[in-house]
């Protein structure tokens, strides 16, 4: 690459990063916590994870004691990582949730859903989801230009110069994270873009191809169900049928049950081992008067492009139940690279702010990024304060830090954000472990890891405070 082209590419990378980097940090930072969105509700409400899960038949009996008479159309089954059975009017509208360990009702509401919703749609519903997917395109441009600029510098894979100033350290950290995490970053960018734009394309296509009946296009996309061998030892109860299904198809993990108004089982959705898919596409459809045979639908029977489209959701949201042997390890890698992606965006923004320290955008970027970090950390630390308006704390603290960045020396904002955020996450993790126990050890470990990173960042920024003008 000649010097002129390299300068143009570097200008594109810097300009795109300055324009979209702040929004990308918000998306990536909240995306890290969105990976554990359901588990955070258990974490917030102090639900115990230790103990053996009750059999499905017993859980259904427990639900009857709390008013569940079999009329709920959807039953969300418990899993090892999320031991909760839910009885729902719609997949996202659940009237009753029971602990699969104790059989007692639990609450599924928690202020931590603020972070999840912020990542998914900016509280704007489907239009927000489509809007956020556009940043996946911007992220892709940054990744392509970044690898073109630095992809051949293999020595930078292990280079982190700590004693040559803040600018050099941020430059090395930015390169190191970009090169080491590159495959995952590409996956985040492409699946993020396709998650919203693909859904928008499906909706627009459905409106054109099948006006008034858009569900037909989705049915065609999912493909027709094929006959499956009957369950030879299925019983008359739902629990007995599920046992027979697990025995006959051990590669299939049930996740969602769909029932008729009279309680008869209609559909069992789940995941199939080795196939990146979801319960919407992996299904067993049980007999009816019109179609008495057992039918099975699977992404394995689709073409390569359709299978790639189906895989977008589980890959983007870190849903690796289809990899039962490696689910924990791959999920941990997904979180670590997601945190690395947020740090990548933050280090790139830091380089731009050091390059343009007097620019007003530097204060805006510092306020938004530091404000979100502090607000999210304090939100989690507020768990013991059950009656405290946590949502007000989150938005109020974010706005306060963003405003302070216009009046206070940026060195104080950066140092204070690292120390306050690190302390808040440390208190949140230790408080949960001491009060509830280590059942959600992986979630508490993630909080402790981010806490340590914030402490290290705060200490480093204080040592390099001379780099920030007063």
Which pLDDT tens digit goes with each residue over 411-467?
899 999 999 999 999 999 999 999 988 888 999 999 999 999 999 999 988 888 776
For residue 399, the surrounding DSSP H or E stretch is: helix 390-404
Q: Which two tokens stand for residue 135?
A: 């940043």
Helix (H, G, I), strand (E, B) or coil at 93: strand
Q: In what order do the strands lie in the sheet with 295-297?
A: 93-99, 84-90, 74-76, 252-259, 265-272, 283-285, 295-297, 226-227
Give 469's pLDDT tier (boundaries 50, 70, 90): low
Per-residue pLDDT at 218: 65
SS (H, E, C) 260-311: CCCCCEEEEEEEECCCCCCCCCCEEECCCCCCCCCEEECHHHCCHHHHHHHH
SS3 200: helix
Cα–Cα distance measured from residue 298 to residue 277, given in angstroms and rounded to the nearest whole number: 9
Per residue in 126-154, pLDDT (tens digit) is: 999 999 999 999 999 999 999 988 766 66
For residue 339, give the nearest of 217, 215, 457 by alpha carbon. Answer: 457
Q: In the predicted model, is pLDDT for residue 239 greater than 70?
A: yes
Residue 358: count of CB within 10 angstroms of its CB: 7
pLDDT at 106 over 80: yes
Span 340-353, pLDDT tens digits:
999 999 999 999 99
Calpha distance 333→340 (Å, rounded): 10
Count Cα atoms within 13 angstroms, Cβ side, for 374.
26
| pLDDT for the residue numbered 229 | 86
Q: Residue 367's pLDDT band (boundaries 50, 70, 90)?
A: very high
Global pTM? 0.92
**Taking the domains of the chain in order of start, what are their residue ranges?**
1-34+113-223+305-326, 48-99, 356-470
Nearest partner of 99 among 59, 44, 67, judged by Cα: 59
* Amino acid 6: pLDDT: 87
Q: Is-contact 226 301, C-beta < 8 A? A: yes
Q: pLDDT tens, 148-172?
A: 887 666 666 677 787 788 888 999 9
């Amino acid at each position: 690459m000649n010097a002129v082209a390299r300068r143009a590419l570097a200008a594109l990378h810097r300009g795109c990063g300055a324009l979209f980097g702040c929004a990308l940090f918000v998306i990536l930072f909240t995306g890290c916590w969105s990976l554990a969105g359901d588990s955070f509700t258990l974490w917030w409400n102090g639900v115990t994870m230790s103990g053996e899960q009750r059999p499905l038949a017993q859980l259904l009996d427990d639900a009857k004691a709390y008013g569940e008479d079999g009329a709920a159309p959807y039953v969300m089954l418990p899993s090892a990582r999320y031991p909760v059975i839910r009885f729902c009017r719609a997949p996202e509208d659940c009237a009753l949730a029971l602990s699969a360990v104790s059989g007692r009702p639990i609450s599924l509401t928690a202020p931590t859903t603020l972070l999840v919703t912020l990542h998914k749609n900016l509280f704007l519903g489907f239009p927000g989801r489509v809007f956020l997917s556009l940043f996946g395109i911007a992220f892709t441009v940054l990744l392509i230009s970044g690898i073109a600029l630095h992809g051949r510098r293999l020595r930078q894979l292990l280079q982190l110069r700590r004693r040559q100033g803040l600018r050099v350290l941020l430059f090395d950290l930015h390169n190191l994270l970009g090169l080491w995490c590159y495959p995952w970053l590409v996956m985040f960018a492409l699946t993020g873009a396709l998650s919203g734009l693909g859904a928008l394309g499906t909706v627009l296509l459905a409106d054109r191809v099948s006006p008034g009946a858009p569900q037909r296009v989705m049915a065609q996309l999912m493909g027709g169900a094929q006959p499956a061998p009957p369950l030879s030892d299925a019983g008359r109860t739902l629990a007995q049928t599920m046992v027979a299904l697990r025995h006959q198809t051990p590669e299939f993990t049930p996740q969602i049950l769909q029932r008729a108004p009279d309680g008869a089982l209609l559909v069992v959705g789940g995941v199939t081992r080795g196939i990146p898919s979801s319960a919407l596409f992996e299904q067993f459809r049980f007999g009816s008067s019109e179609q008495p045979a057992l039918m099975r639908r699977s992404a394995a029977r689709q073409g390569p492009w359709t299978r790639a489209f189906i895989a977008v959701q589980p890959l983007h949201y870190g849903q690796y139940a289809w990899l039962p042997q490696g689910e924990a390890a791959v999920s941990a890698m997904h979180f670590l690279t997601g945190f690395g992606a947020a740090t990548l965006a933050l280090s790139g923004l830091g380089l731009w702010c050091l390059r343009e320290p007097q620019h007003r955008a530097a204060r805006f970027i510092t306020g938004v990024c530091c404000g979100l970090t502090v607000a999210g950390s304090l939100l989690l630390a507020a768990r013991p304060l059950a009656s405290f308006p946590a949502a007000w704390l989150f938005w109020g603290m974010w706005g306060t830090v963003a405003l302070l960045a216009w009046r206070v020396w940026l060195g104080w904002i950066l140092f204070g954000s690292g120390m306050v955020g690190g302390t808040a996450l440390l208190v949140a993790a230790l408080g949960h472990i001491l009060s509830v126990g280590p059942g959600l050890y992986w979630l508490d470990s993630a909080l402790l890891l981010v806490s340590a990173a914030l402490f290290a960042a705060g200490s480093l920024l204080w040592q390099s405070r001379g780099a920030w003008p007063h």
